[in-house]
Amino acid sequence: MMKDREILAAFDEVAKLRGWQSLHTPKNLAMALSVEVAELGKHFQWKDESEIFALMKTESAAAVAAELADIQMYLTKLAVVLDIDMDIALRDKMAENRRRCQIELPSEGFNER
């Protein structure tokens, strides 16, 4: 898997060549990210799970992979622009999810009926 620094270097190289650096503001990156997620969704819209897995065995799989790559690039750049360490953010979020999803065990003396 590519490291964030490799993703950012490639992303920034294209931005520099096209003169897009000034456009990489938090708002614009978030909007571009949402567009890429929508483009991914278009591949799956109105399909059930079996149709999606069948689609992934065709030449369309490359287009789905390209959308996922776009999503990762924009997400990585947005996190850097906002000075968010995604490793920490992910660890914190997973811990929060674990806390929220814990099933409480019945107290001692509880009798099942």
The pLDDT, as a whole number, for residue 35 is: 98
CATH 1.10.287.1080 describes domain 4-101: yes
In this predicted model, what pLDDT tens digit does every residue of 78-106 receive, in sequence order? Answer: 999 999 999 999 999 999 988 888 865 55
In this predicted model, what pLDDT tens digit does every residue of 61-73 receive, in sequence order? Answer: 999 999 999 999 9
* Tokens 């490799």 found at: 6
Domain ranges of the chain: 4-101
**CA quadruple 20, 23, 26, 32: dihedral sign:** negative
Tell me the C-alpha to C-alpha distance, in Å, between residue 24 and each of 18, 19, 28. Answer: 12, 10, 6
In this predicted model, what pLDDT tens digit does every residue of 26-62 receive, in sequence order? Answer: 999 999 999 999 999 999 999 999 999 999 999 999 9
CA-CA distance, 24 to 30, in Å (whole number)? 9
